[in-house]
Structure 1
Amino acid sequence: MDIKIDIVSGFLGAGKTTLIKKLLDSDLRKEKLAILENEFGEVSIDGDLLNDTKVDIKEINSGCICCSLVGDFKEAMHEIIKQYSPERIIIEPSGVAKLSDIIKSCKSISKNNNIYINNIFTVIDVINYEAYINNFGEFYKDQIKNANTIILSKIENNDEEQIKKISRLIRNINKESSIITAPLDEMDGNDILTISKEDIKKSNEKTLSIKKSFKISAVNKVSHSHSADNIFNNWGVETQKSFSKSTLEKIFKIIVNDKSYGNILRGKGIVKLEEGIWGEFHYTPGKFKINKATKQRVGKIVIIGEGVDKNKLNLLFNING
């Protein structure tokens, strides 16, 4: 039986999990699906957010699928295939993973299996595009360049000219992929898949053309020095502490204004709220939101960035440990 692999890539907080939920509400639900989640850090959040989908989920924590975790990735893939026998595996890599490395890892598994890469999505945060491309060009450009289909997120409060500008900048990096500029919250999963199907067709035709036109006589080995752990670090905690919405908003205002906590690029969590409910919060530079969440066994908080000061964050969130 053939197994399709769909990759949903995107930098920290771009909206990968939101896209996956859209896809799970599409015609893909007619297939037997499994999800491979890769979190950067020891505390997993995204897997909890997808639990309500009733799809089989396998998680890899404490790094990104690329260099150090490639063995764990292969083992997880083989475990998913053996345990669940899926028709399709959706992979959500860490936001700081290089998409080219994910593709390479998938291809290394597909050699001896009936597995092939299908959709390759990259979600782009319009609000932070220019800041991220300037500061993290290696990761960001790689995720754009290797996508089949690119989806712009957080466009609701951006004017049409800004969206056109970002689209032009993306087009300079990837001249082939479709760029979807409709609001992700309003998109239908089947519409996204229809566009992606055409992108896959274009990609296959391009690959076939290259194979027909060129004969490769030699391949030079290239050294590979990338490691997200050398650039980003994280703070993660499990807690039974309750928070008010106003307290969480205040905490992230402090984080924005006081860089001694680190250059915080992503915050997310599921925690008990003092109002007697559970809340799911998300932070990226320039945006904080909190929504109602289903009850969890334990609250979880993850902060990712550069130079993250774990001790100061423990004190800020008033969490011992």
Structure 2
Amino acid sequence: MIKIDLITGFLGSGKTTFIKKYARYLMKQGLNIGILENDLGPVNIDMMLLHDLEGDNCELEMVSGGCDKDCYRRRFRTKLIAMGMSGYDRVLIEPSGVFDVDDFFDALYEEPLDRWYQIGNVITIADAALAQNLSSQADYVLASEAASAGSVILSRCQEASEEEISNTIAHLNRALREIHCERTLKDEVITKNWEDFTDKDFEKIFSCGYTAATYEKMELDETSVFDSLYFMNQSITEEKLCTEAERIFSDPECGSVWRIKGFVRKDKNQWVEINAARHKTTVNQMEVGQEVIIVIGENLNRSVIEKYLNVTDK
């Protein structure tokens, strides 16, 4: 049977960055892997970021969202059926940042997927400097994704203080209590700079499994609460985007902005990928890209954000 891992994490938590490192470890072990990406927007930027993994031992697939839940579940199931015939040793699933983990378990317990797949791990990524003033809806998503995790891996630990890391773990446990989940996260939380991960660290993650936790569910209207605003074909310089990102984060009129990411053309054959958070902005050179800026957050105000980015209709 094919082992299948679910990598969850709230919007902008760092799932794609972790998957790149985890996938390279798996391929180094000689495994043939498939990565299934989900994106609700018109551009799957995470597929671009994973582009350099593609090769003889790794293939990328996508299930598109932007439809009702029943339609998405059918697409998800159909894609897994097709991938089950492709000879993978391991499949990694990166869902959208707002994801009902029960959809994953329900699909894999149904025929014919239950004959082809065996659940390997549920891994949850959370920002080590998690904002402490999240809404009840955001806290629910955090807790529901962490409830079943075999490992909870904190991202950007090297940029967070010990107090921030401690507060993040306490926040996750508080959110779990709020949804009446009896689980308390302790040793399953990994607080280490990802650049320092060794094979031993990945071995621990590779065998972390999952937890059959129960909790009280909340119905979310995720399209009206959690936003990913896409600005397509906007020519903007690297310096301008970094400057305006700082201004957007500091302006409450923009809404609760968690992450700004996208691609900026450097020259004819070179792109720059920008990933901005409140505490840091990272810039990486890329060979592929597309002129797109994505603003991720809660209750975002498109018209105000457009003014900062000088968005024009094309």
TM class by shorter chain equals: 0.7 to 0.9
Q: Name the residue aligned to 1:282.
A: 275
The answer to whether the Cα contact below 8 Å between 2:238 and 2:264 also exists between their aligned partners in 1 is no
State yes or no: 1:306 paired with 2:298. Answer: yes
Query: Cα distance 1:87–1:156, how it changes in 2: closer, same or farther (>3 A)?
Result: same
Report deviation, 1:284. 2.9
1:191 aligned to 2:183? no
Q: TM-score, normalised on structure 2?
A: 0.82
Kindly indicate whether the alpha-carbon contact (under 8 Å) linking 2:37 and 2:94 is maintained by their aligned counterparts in 1.
Answer: yes
Q: Which of 144, 154, 179 is the aligned partner of 2:189?
A: 179
Match of 2:106 among 104, 107, 113: 104
Q: How does 1:155-166 map to 2 (within 5 A)?
A: 155-166=157-168
Give the Cα separation in 2 of the matches to 1:315 and 1:234.
Answer: 17
1:76 aligns with 2:70: no
Determine the C-alpha separation between the residues in 2 that align with 1:156 and 1:65: 39
User: Which digits, 9 at most, give the CA deviation of each residue in 1:116-165, with x for residues without a partner?
Assistant: 11011101102125234766111011111111111111221333344244
Which moved further from structure 2: 33-42 or 266-275? 266-275
2:60 is paired with a residue whose SS is strand
Contact 1:244 1:275 in 2 (8 A): no
For residues 227 and 106 of structure 1, the distance between their equivalents in structure 2, rounded to whole angstroms, comes to 25
Alpha-carbon distance change, 229 to 192 in structure 1, aligned in 2, over 3 angstroms:
farther
Gapped regions of structure 2 (runs ≥ 5) = 177-182
TM-superposed CA distance for 1:59, in Å, is 1.5
What is the aligned partner in structure 2 of residue 248 from structure 1? 241
Deviations for 1:282-310, whole angstroms, at most 9, x for unmatched residues?
123333222222233x3222122233333
Structure 1 residues 76 and 275: alpha-carbon distance in aligned structure 2, compared to 1, 3 A threshold? closer
In the other structure, the counterpart of 2:36 is 36
Rounded to whole Å, the distance in 1 between the matches of 2:279 and 2:295 is: 15
Cα offset, 1:4, TM superposition: 1.0
- Counterpart of 1:186 in structure 2: which amino acid? D
Corresponding residue SS for 1:14: coil
Amino acid at match of 2:208: D
**CA–CA distance in structure 1, aligned partners of residues 244 and 164 of structure 2:** 30
Q: 2: distance between equivalents of 1:39 and 1:11? A: 13
Q: Is the 8 A contact 2:81 2:113 kept in 1?
A: no
Q: Deviations over 1:169-228 (max 9, x none)?
A: 54564436611111122213x33332135532xx5xx87xx9xxxxxxxxxxx9973342
Cα separation, 1, equivalents of 2:132 and 2:50: 30
Indicate the residue corresponding to 1:233 in structure 2: 227
Match 2:261 to one of 255, 268, 279: 268
Secondary structure in 2 matching 1:105: helix
Is the alpha carbon distance of 1:24 and 1:112 closer, same or farther for their aligned partners in structure 2, counting shifts above 3 Å? closer
1:7 correspondence with 2:6: yes
Q: 1:135 to 1:294 in 2, by over 3 A?
A: same
Q: Which amino acid aligns with 2:200?
A: D
Summarize the Cα distance change of 1:248–1:12 in structure 2 as closer, same or farther, 3 Å threshold. same
Larger radius of gyration: 1
Letter in 1 for 2:300: V
- Report the more deviating stretch, 17-26 or 273-282: 273-282
AA aligned to 2:81 is: H
Distance in 1 (alpha carbons) for counterparts of 2:217 and 2:157: 38
Query: Is the 8 Å Cα contact of residues 36 and 92 (structure 1) preserved in structure 2?
Result: yes
CA gap 1:313/1:191 in 2 versus in 1, 3 angstroms: same
Work out the CA distance in 2 between the residues paired with 1:234 and 1:187.
31
Deviation at 1:46, TM superposition (A): 0.3
Runs of 4+ residues over 6 Å off in structure 1: none
Aligned to 1:318, which of 296, 310, 313? 310
Contact 2:14-2:155 at 8 Å conserved across structures:
yes
Give me the identity figure in percent. Answer: 23
15-24 or 303-312, larger mean C-alpha shift: 303-312
How far apart in 1 are the matches of 2:300 and 2:173?
33
Partner of 1:20: 19
Give the stretch that moved more between structures: 260-269 or 15-24. 260-269
Scaled by the length of structure 1, what TM-score is found? 0.81
- Structure 1 unaligned spans of 5+: 211-221
What is the correspondence of 1:136-155 to structure 2 with a 5 Å cutoff? 136-155=138-157
Contact in 1 for aligned 2:84/2:117 (Cα 8 Å): no
CA contact (8 A) 2:234 2:312 kept: no
Residue 52 (structure 1) aligned with residue 55 (structure 2): no
